[in-house]
Structure 1
Amino acid sequence: MSSIDQRPYHHGDLRRSLIQAGSKMIEEKGITGLSLREVARAAGVSHTAPYRHFQDKADLLAAIAQVGFEQLTDRAGKAARRHDGNPRKQFVAASVQYILFGVTNPRMAHLLFGGEINMRTAPRALKQSSWAAFQLVETIINNGKRAGVFQDRDTMELAVTTWSGIHGLTQLISGGYLSRLAATEQQVENLGRVVCQLLLTGILKPDEK
């Protein structure tokens, strides 16, 4: 997660440094390659230092995931705010950022959405950060409903339907199934926009709706 501050450990920065080191390790080695001892070594602190902030590996993973959700929501939110007043463009812009985040950080995305963390028993702060990501989708959809451009259906149904489509595309690209269509970041963005437009309009012909 390159957007985490790259500052060395000093004074109260231990927790941040450990999360930063753990995030980098996940992208390089995967979740199974993560350990508190290895994270401590990467952060340049003693092997007992992580226990000042984290009880175990699961505790560290939850903290890393929380930061990941916050970064995802921040990226998508900033993209949406560039199109205030236009819910359709907000939806596309935020969705493309979601796709780019998942494709460029596949192992982090797996931590967030791959079932590695049981969200039912996750720490409250992690639940809140994950819910904030979903609430962004709901907000955009509610904006569209009020503007009369989205269907007047249950917001949760619309949010789950659209997010499922975007998440599915992200997984297909990350898994290498769409290598010919999404070999570069620009291609990923272009394909994302196409899929988002189809999610908005549907695939039925106008006279079949």
Structure 2
Amino acid sequence: MKTKQASNEDFQSDESKPYHHGDLQQKLICAARELLEQNNVASLSLRAVAKKVGVSHSAPYRHFKDKESLLAGIAAVGFNELASKMLEAVSMYPDDPVAQLQEAGYEYMKLAMKNPQCMQLMFGNILPCHEAYPELQSSGEFAFNGLKIIIEAGQSKGVFKAGNVELLALTAWSTIHGLSILFISGQIEETISLSVDIKELAFSVSEIMLNGIKSN
């Protein structure tokens, strides 16, 4: 049986748009995040993402079987960015777990404000089964482990209370996550009057929370 030699035409759609090799998957995710923040999850489609990147409408399916898998890819990148910010906080204040936790909380809020739709995607019920996407599952665990590293460092220095690391990490996470969600949903401005900037707000709330987990 004779085989046909591949040509450029084999990588073109009916719209004559070439299929891009290389880092197409990351380009698709970046484009999808931009579209997501401009609109919402409901309006996002693989076809719209392909159009924004400049590839055929079938090209994204080489990397994502459907819209949900694309959303999982977006969420995974979000968790990886969150984990990276936590590690940066550790590097910034290598001997000060309290400062690490405050800085991590501030960076968490900044990410939420910059990418509110992505934040809702990461922690909402749009993707009810993270276990179905191994990369998403591992990136979420990676982010939470970054927070646990800070708590463990504080415990080893006698700064934070001894006890269940995951419970203390959950306490810290719940505090700053709740603040972030209230902020991006506009609830804070509608309920209380604050003249402080975002960093001051994040640090102030973190300080109140820290008083609860610091060792006596």
TM-score class normalised by the smaller sequence: 0.7 to 0.9
Q: Does 1:108 align with 2:118?
A: yes
Paired-residue identity, %: 39
User: Aligned Cα RMSD in Å?
Assistant: 1.8
Residues of 1 paired with 2:20 and 2:80: CA distance? 24
Q: Deviations over 1:34-64 (max 9, x none)?
A: 1111111111111111111110001111111
**Total equivalences in the alignment:** 193
Residues of 2 paired with 1:145 and 1:17: CA distance? 41
Given that 2:148 and 2:166 are in contact with CA atoms closer than 8 Å, whether structure 1 keeps it comes out as yes
TM-score normalised per structure 1: 0.87
3-state DSSP of counterpart to 1:202:
helix
Residues of 1 paired with 2:130 and 2:51: CA distance? 31
Q: Does 1:117 align with 2:127?
A: yes
Corresponding residue of 1:39 = 49
Q: Does 1:166 align with 2:179?
A: no
Identify which of 115, 138, 141 aligns with 1:128: 138
Unaligned runs of 5+ in 2: 1-18
Most deviating of 117-126 and 136-145 = 117-126
Q: Deviations over 1:48-93 (max 9, x none)?
A: 1111111000111111111111112112221221000111111111
Residues of 2 paired with 1:68 and 1:161: CA distance? 21
Could you list the structure 1 runs, at least 4 aligned residues long, displaced by more than 6 angstroms after superposition: none
Distance 1:145 1:119, change over 3 A: farther
Q: Does 1:96 align with 2:98?
A: no
Residues of 1 paired with 2:150 and 2:105: CA distance? 11
Shift in Å, 1:28? 0.5
Answer with 1 or 2: which has the greater Rg.
2
Unaligned runs of 5+ in 1: 1-8, 204-208
Given that 1:18 and 1:50 are in contact with CA atoms closer than 8 Å, whether structure 2 keeps it comes out as yes
Given that 2:130 and 2:136 are in contact with CA atoms closer than 8 Å, whether structure 1 keeps it comes out as no
Given that 2:86 and 2:147 are in contact with CA atoms closer than 8 Å, whether structure 1 keeps it comes out as no
